[in-house]
Amino acid sequence: MNDTKNFSVKEFACHHCGQNKIDQRVIDLCQKIRDELGVPVRVNSGYRCPAHNARVGGVKGSRHVLGHAADLSSSRSGMLMFEAVKRLQGEGRLPELGYCILYKTKNFIHVDIDKRPSGSMWEVRP
């Protein structure tokens, strides 16, 4: 795995044990979102080992456990970040993106690289 301009691979490691199986495409995706926002972006959660995922109440089979997902927050609202991801995707600039969830009240977004069979990419949760 390689660092990008604003992200180090370490930021995506499991918070509980330091293991890191993050996929490079997730880091690249986060960098593009960061570039679009123009402000620092915090990786709340990247790779999670199965034990950590269970502890934080993550769903079984979570994309975080596969190293395919990241939860991001910044000084911008979750809504603004979600809109930025939509804009980039609409311009064909996020081929890595599989799915994006806006967590409205918690003010963060989840992005992952797994395309859903339904083809849907966008979800808003309270």
Binding site for Zn ion (CB under 5 A): 14, 16-17, 49, 52
Smallest gap from residue 67 Cβ to Zn ion (A): 12
Smallest separation (angstroms) from Zn ion to the CB of 22: 12
- One-letter identity of residue 80: L
Q: Which is nearer to Zn ion, 16 or 125 (CB)?
A: 16
CB 86 within 8 A of CB 101: no
Q: Tell me the one-letter amino acid at 35.
A: D
- Determine how many CB atoms are found less than 10 A away from the CB of residue 53: 20
Collapsed DSSP state (helix, strand, coil) of residue 79: helix
Closer residue to Zn ion, CB minimum distance, 16 or 115: 16
Minimal distance, residue 56 CB to Zn ion, in Å: 10
